[in-house]
Amino acid sequence: MVQVQSYSKPSATQTSPELGYDYDLVILGGGIAGLTLASALKDSGLRVLLIEAREQSAAVAKGQAYAVHMLSALIYQGIGVWDKILPQIETYRRVRLSDAEYPEVVEFNTSDLGTKDLGYVAEHQALLHPLQEFVRGCDNVTVLCPAEVVNTQYFPDEVCVEVKVDGEIRTVRSKLMIAADGARSRTREAAGIKTKGWKYWQSCIVAFVKPEKSHNHTAYEKFWSSGPFAILPLPGNRCRIVWTAPHEEAQALCALDDEQFLAELTRRYGKQMGKLELLGDRFIFQVRLMQSDRYALHRLALVGDAAHNCHPVGGQGLNLGIRDVAALAQVIKAAHQAGEDIGDLQILKRYERWRKKENLTILGFTDLLDRIFSNNFLPLIVLRRLGLWIMQRVPMVKRFTLKLMIGLKGKTPNLAQNP
């Protein structure tokens, strides 16, 4: 378990035990966000230390899958790791958006953007493995895993991090600490950074299924009054279902045996892909929205789930974190090249101003979608179905919505501009 000393703004009169940096920055968290940041800094000239508490085999075994949006793919192309990721994931070339039994369906196709694909779906290990391999080839990155941060002290000119490795404690000095340690970030909590948000009345059930018929590279998002229901295509003609429902209903569904669960799933899923086979276990987690009041303090920056969480509708969560990382890497590299202090708060605020507003827009968008569609209030039913009708028939509205969904609205990081 990682324990971090409470953060207090360093005074100008404080001095560290001794000067000198072991690394230019320390990344706490070796998940997808942390590894992506380390990879993005490969040719930056910065010395990077990545600290991960868990054995890498345990992290790879995490059973999760994600929508990978177009902008995220461009970022990974810019880093140089996309050609290692792409063979292990599935593309989707069509998205079907619908409201319960309402016959009007909004269908997004590659022709709407003039692209080969609309997005991708990746299992956790399909992203993690290539990123781990890529980082191992980065001469400027050192990885400590498993390692435990037992104490952190912030000084005006540096951060001192005590790391326990193989039973021994080593003190590392750095200009900047990056918290990529997840939604329950102890680094954020220890720094006293407050958050705003709420837990939804819904929980999310996730599972892998294998349909009898081909998924045809199609992703589905069907809204029911109880919550959104998504179907994401995966390699091997498998699919990932993301089923949102009120807590009690979700718990009851998970308590069903496989046959009963599949019967309920088929009612939601429809019969377009034939008989379904359940693969592996079902998992359930509570849905929440969270936005940190600050993304940066002096010598500290938050990225990914440590900074924000959103409703799973639209598969935005992971992609927001990837954009955070690309933005922070750009800010850090530009500051370093200009001879500026990468841990100075004024530098880190450039990153915060960039990402906080854009993330808030997506958090608001996903929250609004869930609230508008997850109810039986007649005026809202009429409004949302009118919206679907307009979206399907007005190309400008359709393109705008699609670009917002796949990350092509807002400021584009340099990594995505030069893949």
On whether residue 336 sits in a domain, the answer given is yes
Question: Are 51 and 145 a contacting pair, CB within 8 Å?
Answer: yes
3-state secondary structure 239-308: EEEEEEEEHHHHHHHHHCCHHHHHHHHHHHHCCCCCCEEEEEEEEEEEEEEEEECCCEECCEEECHHHCE
User: In CATH, what number is assigned to the domain containing residue 133?
Assistant: 3.50.50.60
Quote the Cα angle for 107-279-230, to 5°. 25
Phi and psi torsions of 211, nearest 5°: -80, 155
On whether residue 170 sits in a domain, the answer given is yes
On whether residue 4 sits in a domain, the answer given is no
Stretches in the chain below the pLDDT threshold 70: 1-21, 55-63, 418-419
Query: Quick one: pLDDT at residue 349?
Result: 98
Give the helix, strand, coil percentages of the chain, each rounded to 5: 40, 30, 30
Range of the domain at 144: 25-84+122-196+289-417
On whether residue 17 sits in a domain, the answer given is no
ω before 156 within 30° of 0 (cis)? no
The count of structural domains within the chain is 1
Question: Are 117 and 69 a contacting pair, CB within 8 Å?
Answer: no
Query: Quick one: pLDDT at residue 419?
Result: 52
On whether residue 361 sits in a domain, the answer given is yes
On whether residue 134 sits in a domain, the answer given is yes
Q: Which DSSP symbol is given to 235?
A: G
On whether residue 374 sits in a domain, the answer given is yes
Query: Quick one: pLDDT at residue 364?
Result: 94
Here the tokens at position 358 are 């854009």
Q: Where are the alpha helices (DSSP H) in 61-182?
A: 70-79, 82-85, 124-136
Pairing of β 159-165 and β 119-123? unpaired
On whether residue 212 sits in a domain, the answer given is no
Here the tokens at position 51 are 């600290």
**Is the dihedral angle over the CA atoms 70, 74, 79, 82 positive or is it negative?**
positive
**Is the dihedral angle over the CA atoms 234, 324, 54, 43 positive or is it negative?**
positive
Sheet holding 141-144, edge to edge: 141-144, 48-51, 25-28, 176-179, 300-302, 296-297
